[in-house]
């Protein structure tokens, strides 16, 4: 079982529980900034990273490393028998949920 979590804060709490399975935070501030070509390739991710660094001071290198980990986690989902999504009904979570749900349907 793999749990995809809406952020580090929720992950920290869930890790302290007896809920079985691997737990990974897969979040992004998708509600901010461009999503060129719906982030279909590396060039789009690099454009987004550049914008986030300029606008919010987020390191391009760190952002792209985090994006790569998230994408690898989503690929891993096809190898497990159950995936649980932990997202709320706010804009941040819903946009992340839609992105993840879309990726899982591929």
Instruction: Indicate the SS3 state at residue 100.
Output: helix
- Indicate if the pLDDT at residue 106 is higher than 80: no
- Indicate if the pLDDT at residue 103 is higher than 90: no
Q: How far is CA 26 from CA 6, 9, 21, 54, in A?
A: 6, 12, 15, 23
What confidence score (pLDDT) does residue 105 get? Answer: 83
What are the tens digits of pLDDT across the range 41-53?
Answer: 999 999 999 999 9
What confidence score (pLDDT) does residue 104 get? Answer: 87
What are the tens digits of pLDDT across the range 14-32?
Answer: 999 999 999 999 999 999 9
Domains in the chain: how many in total? 1
Domain extent for 58 = 2-105
- Predicted TM-score of the model (pTM): 0.85
């Amino acid at each position: 079982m793999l749990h995809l979590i809406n952020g580090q804060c929720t992950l920290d709490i869930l890790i302290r529980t007896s809920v079985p399975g691997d737990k990974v935070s897969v979040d992004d501030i998708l509600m901010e900034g461009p999503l060129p070509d719906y982030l279909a390739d590396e060039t789009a991710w690099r454009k987004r990273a550049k914008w986030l660094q300029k606008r919010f001071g987020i390191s391009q290198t760190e952002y792209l490393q985090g994006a790569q980990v998230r994408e690898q986690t989503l690929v891993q989902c096809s190898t497990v028998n159950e995936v649980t999504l932990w997202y709320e009904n706010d804009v941040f979570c819903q946009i992340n949920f839609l992105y993840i749900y879309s990726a899982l349907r591929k």
